[in-house]
Amino acid sequence: MPPADTETVQGDGSEDAILLGVLDAVERDPAVTQRSVARELNIALGLANAYLRRCVRKGLIKVGQVPRRRYAYYLTPQGFAEKTRLTATYLSSSFSFFRKAREQCGGLFEAAAKRGHRRLVLFGAGDLAEIATLVSRDYAVEMAGVVPAVADAEAFRASIGSLGRVDGVVITALADPRAAFDVAVGVFGVNGVYAPALLRLPAPAAPGEGRAAS
């Protein structure tokens, strides 16, 4: 199933937008085909083929054979790094970033309040954290604070130690949301971590447009 923000890529024919869409499609489903990528991104089949071949040449994607004479595509470590970079740079400059962030954060806050997670910490400073702070005022949640994204659980624990009670974490790191997500889950458990779908993290969908681990 396409992520909630696929329409952002569909509406932007820039090279970065298409490349991000291709990498995202491969990460979610190694069994993607040129045709399914073209359909998902609303681009020509030949263009989808060209981008997949380019990604393989650049070492972003590797190809393996699976039964029934089909191929499977996998992101390489370099591919994951490039996807992370593109996510941060593309989303922050996207014309629909604010609208999507506002809608998805609202969905997450609503889901968190229903779970009894009313005092939340934002994990990662920047544009997304600022939007989340503004949106939170319209929901039955309280922001305990914003802490910088770190890749170490002990550092994360130390950063929230002075904030008092914290019921859950909202991932707002754009630079490396996957690392922040893993750290937060390690500290709060999968049920206490929320992430907007626009970050393209492998978490189940929550009520609303955002995603929450469940």
Longest Cα–Cα distance of the chain, Å, equals 57
Residue 169 phi, psi (nearest 5): -125, 135
Tokens describing residue 74: 């996998």
The alpha carbon of 34 is separated from its chain's Cα centroid by a whole number of angstroms, namely 23
3 state DSSP class of 176? coil
Per-residue pLDDT 10s for the chain (214 aa) are 334 344 444 445 578 888 988 998 898 888 888 899 998 888 899 999 999 999 999 999 998 876 666 778 889 999 988 988 887 776 666 656 788 899 999 999 999 999 999 999 999 998 899 999 999 999 999 999 999 999 899 999 999 999 999 999 999 998 889 999 999 999 999 999 999 998 888 644 343 444 455 4
Query: For residues 179 and 201, is the Cβ–Cβ distance under 8 A?
Result: no
Nearest to 173 by CA among 214, 122, 98: 122
Q: In the chain, what are the domains? A: 6-93 (1.10.10.10), 97-212 (3.40.50.2300)
For residue 97, what pLDDT is reported?
79
